[in-house]
Amino acid sequence: MIVTKFGGTSMADAGQFRKVRNIILDDPERRVVVVSAPGRRYKGDTKVTDLLYTLYMHLQYSVPYEDIWQMIAQKYTDIARDLGLSDSINMELEAIHSELRRQIDQNYLISRGEFLAARLMSEYLGFPFIDAQELIRFSYDGKVDQAITDEAIAHAAERMERFVIPGFYGAYPNGDICLFSRGGSDITGAYLTRGLGAKIYENWTDVSGVLAADPRVVDNPRIISNITYAELREMSYMGANVLHEESVSPVADRNININIRNTNEPKEEGTLIQNECDGGPIITGITGMKDFVSFDITKEHLANEVGFVRKVLEIFERYKVNVEHLPTGIDTVSVIVAASSVNHCMYDIVSGIERTLEAQVSVRRDISLLAVVGRNMAGKVGVCSRLFSALAGANISVKMIAQSPDETNIMIGLDNSDYEKATRALYSNFLDCGWL
């Protein structure tokens, strides 16, 4: 069995629904279909989930809300009309509309995006509908109760051979709706895949897989055909957005693979994500992010002071700031953090370090971090040499260097203004020598 999940752009209009149906009909193993709420049909369009959040704010502040409601409702009625479906969606819409006047629960309202999409898809495919409230079970702490969820899914599989289910939400023990974080339909698909023991989790989206570099920076980057879960995590942490990160462990734990596919190009094989991959290029991908800040801390004889770094880190912890990197010299240590995480406490941290540790601190802003990721870099001679020659060739100065202990990630700090140039220089250099 294959569990399929279709993201918002795959659900955006009747044309996309038709593509989904062709994909499902193409392989009888595709028996479980998880859907997102309709996403953008074109640039500038608004996703249903965003409209629902706006609607909820209007209700909260008693601002007229009929226009927004109409925009939402029309997305569904247009799809139903264009596909020649029954008018049962109108009844569902009317039931929700009538509840808007009462104190509607926020999670319930937001979850209706996926609920209505799954209703339409179930009718269109002729597969039974099952509500995610029945299968995805949360504890009151907002975490999925794995055992109850697995049991509910196994029970559903005994009753139904195939079904359509809304993504993004489930229920607390008392039946109230609980949402995953944004993009959470990916997680629903992962729990179903695991609970059903499916052979693969197909995640259908609008790109043909994980790209080897950011397409806004590099023209037409390669699609990565095979990537490990660990590499994907490194790529995603540093900015490559493909899957919701919480969707990995439910399937990786069971050694099930995820296949990222493109609803608009169903013939393309996409990216296969596995615990272990054989072969493949030296470099899997290049990724990164801008806007980090470096707190450069200097003190004479710092290298001999036991506990110095701990005391520095405690100050960052006090302000709940996540530390990204910690390059050290003999009498200096730098703490690199995301700029957005210290906006509110930058000066408190500087004065805290100066006071408590009697050290000098200078702050460098506008730093970007670029990561070169590849399982096959481990033990390979000459990777750093090629990397730094490529940067030197592009006249780029390196501000920081770090390599993960397993040699699968080399991270370099640069000026924000050099980020794009550096990414392109590395990408074309690695591509030209056949390493990417």
Looking at 30, 31, 47, 375, which residue binds ligand ASP (CB under 6 A)?
Answer: 47
Give CA torsion, residues 62, 68, 72, 78, to 10 deg: 140
Residue number, 8 or 288, with CB nearest to ligand ASP: 8
Q: Tell me whether residue 112 or residue 375 sits nearer to ligand ASP (CB atom).
A: 112
Residue 38 binds ligand ASP (CB under 6 A)? no
Torsion of CA 33, 35, 40, 41, to 10 degrees: 40
Question: Residue 168's closest CA among 120, 229, 107, 248?
Answer: 107
In the complex, least distance from residue 279 CB atom to ligand ASP, rounded to whole angstroms: 32
Binding flags for ligand ASP, 159-198, as an x/- string (CB under 6 A): --------xx-------------xxxx-------------
Nearest to 110 by CA among 4, 31, 161, 185: 185
Contact present, 287 and 213 (Cβ < 8 Å) = yes
Binding of residue 49 to ligand ASP (CB under 6 A): yes
Return phi, psi of residue 117, to 5°: -60, -40
Instruction: Report if residue 111 touches ligand ASP, rule: CB under 6 A.
Output: no
Q: Which of 8, 166, 209, 285 binds ligand ASP (CB under 6 A)?
A: 8
Tell me, what DSSP letter sits at residue 149?
A: H
Please state the closest distance from residue 294 (CB atom) to ligand ASP, in A: 33
Sole binder of ligand ASP in the list 2, 24, 33, 37 (CB under 6 A): 37
Element containing residue 340 per DSSP (H, E): helix 339-342
Nearest to 364 by CA among 337, 345, 329: 337
Q: Number of residues in contact with ligand ASP, rule: CB under 6 A?
A: 12
Residue 95 CB burial class (10 angstroms; 0-12, 13-18, ≥19): exposed
User: Least distance from C-beta 168 to ligand ASP, angstroms?
Assistant: 4
Q: How far is the CB of 13 from ligand ASP (least distance, A)?
A: 16
Nearer to ligand ASP, 40 or 299 (CB): 40
Distance CA 201, CA 251 (A): 8
The nearer residue to ligand ASP, 50 or 123, going by C-beta atoms, is: 50
Other C-beta atoms closer than 10 Å to the C-beta of 238 total: 19
Report the nearest approach of ligand ASP to the CB of residue 129 (Å). Answer: 17
- CA gap 257, 275 in Å, rounded: 8
Q: State in angstroms the smallest separation of the CB of 374 from ligand ASP.
A: 29
Closer residue to ligand ASP in complex, CB, 11/353: 11
The residues binding ligand ASP (CB under 6 A) are 8, 36-37, 47, 49, 113, 167-168, 182-185
